Amino acid sequence: MITTICLNPCFDKTVSVDRLQPGQVNRIREARVDLGGKGINVAVVAKRLGLEVQCLGIMGENGAAELTALMDREELSHRFMTVPGHVRTNMKVYSLDGQGVTELNEPGTPLNESSLAEFTRIAEEETAGSDMVVLTGSLPPGCPEGTYRDLLKALDGKKCILDTEGKELELAAKGAHPFLIKPNLREMEATLGIELRTMRAIRDAALLFVRLGVQHSVVSMGAMGAMYISADKTLFAPALRVETKSTVGAGDAMIGGMLLGYEIEKDMAKAFRYGIAAGAASVMTEGTQLIVRSDFDALLDQVRIQEV
Ligand SMILES: Nc1ncnc2c1ncn2[C@@H]1O[C@H](COP(=O)(O)OP(=O)(O)OP(=O)(O)O)[C@@H](O)[C@H]1O
Ligand SMILES: [Mg+2]
């Protein structure tokens, strides 16, 4: 069993306009609302790839029934604690004239110490049968610095995958030794406050985290591919060439793919290949649609891994 944790779930609202004009009235052509939040996304991908998965988290009570219904529609097992407030909405505005996507993200329902403590107790209880736990996504307002580190410490003994950046990543790497981290290149640069221009620089940056106690590090680079770094191995995989419809959630899909790979191969370096295929499969789907299993299956054999 795999558990994903989602402390800041959301509705992903996607709208399109002919031409986005700031400061003007913009008429929406099409609108849709999907399930969102990185922890939920990873769980949905893992489920679609055939894994047994559950998602745990906290959500505001207003909108909880609708968000829960969307998880039920995916047949996702879930246990979310509710707190006063509303489920946030993250809006993606597609400008049809080719200006790209503008995102407007709400901060989320504020949490306090006692709700976090209660959630930690639930997480300890509900992950009893899980081999792998994924912690990913932004933290809602009110979470103290080191929230992910503290959760990881409470889940001591589990293999934990952490996808976050900045101080949260640094504190968790130092204090709780996650099994795998998966920053993208921009997040890695922002966390360390340096530019990483070469593969060697990226490897050295990832090794800083490995020395702190992280076992495996995957640095994703969008359409450039990704690197896998552990104490004794560095791999690079170019991204697969696929028709790009939307890159939203490629990193979440990548984690879902690596979860499947690890389940099959029992080896994270070998699981990396599955992550590359899942990331590519996810960009082939529209908007926030995540992944179609048959796309993933067709891509897996095309992944080329190079030892660096
Ligand atoms: N345009 C693309 N074509 C092919 N593969 C892609 C493309 N974009 C991403 N991928 C694959 O997906 C992986 C993860 O993508 P990316 O680095 O964009 O993650 P991310 O920034 O963490 O995304 P998010 O957090 O939005 O889910 C990449 O390493 C790559 O293998
Ligand atoms: Mg990401």
pLDDT in tens, the chain (308 residues): 999 999 999 999 999 999 999 999 999 999 999 999 999 999 999 999 999 999 999 999 999 999 999 999 999 999 999 999 999 999 999 999 998 889 999 999 999 999 999 999 999 999 999 989 999 999 999 999 999 999 999 999 899 999 999 999 999 999 999 999 999 999 999 999 999 999 999 999 999 999 999 999 999 999 999 999 999 999 999 999 999 988 889 999 999 999 999 999 999 999 999 999 999 999 999 877 899 999 999 999 999 999 99
Q: For residue 209, which amino acid is it?
A: F
> Is 24 part of any domain?
no
> Is 25 part of any domain?
no
Q: Is the pTM of this model over 0.75?
A: yes
> Is 102 part of any domain?
no
Instruction: Tell me how many domains the chain contains.
Output: 1
> Is 148 part of any domain?
yes
> Is 28 part of any domain?
no
> Is 297 part of any domain?
yes
> Is 18 part of any domain?
no
Q: Name the residue with the closest Cα to ligand 1, atom 13.
A: 279
Distance CA(14)–CA(33), nearest Å, equals 6
Distance CA(129)–CA(253), nearest Å, equals 23
> Given ligand 1 and candidates 199, 247, 302, which is best to mutate, with the most ligand atoms within 8 Å of its CB?
247
CATH number at residue 294: 3.40.1190.20
Which ligand has the shortest distance to the CA of 247? Answer: 1
> Given ligand 1 and candidates 161, 165, 184, 224, which is best to mutate, with the most ligand atoms within 8 Å of its CB?
184
Q: Exposed, middle or buried by CB within 10 Å (0-12, 13-18, 19+), for 114?
A: exposed
> Is 118 part of any domain?
yes
Q: Which two tokens stand for residue 198?
A: 């070469």
163 by DSSP, 3-state: which? strand
Q: How many CB atoms are closer than 10 A to CB 168?
A: 20
Distance CA(233)–CA(269), nearest Å, equals 8
Helices (H), 10-161: 38-48, 64-73, 113-126, 147-154
60 Cβ inside 6 Å of ligand 1: no
Q: Which two tokens stand for residue 167?
A: 């101080």
CA angle 65, 70, 76 (to 5 degrees): 110
CA angle 90, 282, 235 (to 5 degrees): 115
Give me the domain span that covers residue 255.
2-8+38-85+107-307
